[in-house]
Amino acid sequence: MEQQSNVSLFDLHGKTALITGGALGIGQASARRLAEAGAATMLVDINLEAARATAQDIQARGGRASALYGDVSEVHSIDAIIQTTVETFGSLDILVNNAGIYPFASVLEMTEAAWDQVLAINLKGAFFYAQKAAQQMIKAGRGGRIINISSINGLTPTRFLSHYDASKGGMIALNRTLALELGPHHINVNAIAPGEIITPGTSAASPETLEQAGVTDMNNSDFLQQIPLNRLGMPDDIARVVLFLASEAASYMAGSLLTVDGGYLLT
């Protein structure tokens, strides 16, 4: 096999990425990194205004991007979103399953509606986006990459997030099965487990909510001491790993889970 240069390893020109939850946070940062590497990016989000703003920002930087409204729990809409992506950019080569929600609720007060909503978005939606994307990738005969954004919550529990923990643990298991079945079709499936990342969602959490979860202040020294790198993560910390998994640098990886938590799980 011919050795590729460092530059060509991360060259995504001619590729198209679809990012769910692409308007803000990890999705937004991932879209920017993939676009910088040359990929066209389709941002799918329920916040269409913010998704369009991110797409316009990418375009202003010289990249190719567009935005679509999409609620990932609405499985019936996925085919049309993928078709529009292919019609807009010519292919679908990379899927970043990023969309997710984490409303706080105790085990004793959890409602069926709250449970169903989190699992529908975080796990069911991720599966069917992977399924539909894989069907398109196989049809095109180009192979592809599926990158699942899980969480360290799939590996360790957090109070008042039983539904979220279950969904992210399920995604870790699903990631391995997808990799096993789709690998023969030259589709690499891998996952990332972020730790504490500063996003619009985490920043909007009230002090009362964080205290319920056992986190009095994510920026205080006691909490940061639980993280060996002594800082919270930023969306771009995850986006850089998304870029790695989307690139030829990760061409022999399948079913892997990369923990990106500053070392939090070590303590």
What confidence score (pLDDT) does residue 222 get? 76
Q: What is the pTM of this model?
A: 0.93
Strands in 9-154 per DSSP E: 16-20, 40-45, 65-69, 94-97, 144-149
For 45-81, the pLDDT digits (tens) are 999 999 999 999 999 999 999 999 999 999 999 999 9
What confidence score (pLDDT) does residue 200 get? 78
Between CA 163 and CA 166 the distance in angstroms is 5
Active centre residues (catalytic)? 164
Contact 44, 97 (CB under 8 A): no
What confidence score (pLDDT) does residue 199 get? 87
What confidence score (pLDDT) does residue 214 get? 55
Contact 125, 100 (CB under 8 A): no
**3-class state of residue 193 by DSSP:** strand
Residues in the chain: 267
What confidence score (pLDDT) does residue 204 get? 57
Pick out the chain residues at pLDDT < 70.
1-2, 201-221
Bridge partners (DSSP) listed for residue 148: 97, 191
Contact 148, 190 (CB under 8 A): yes
Contact 110, 166 (CB under 8 A): no
Q: What is the mean pLDDT of the chain?
A: 94
| The domain over range 6-266 is classified in CATH as 3.40.50.720 | yes
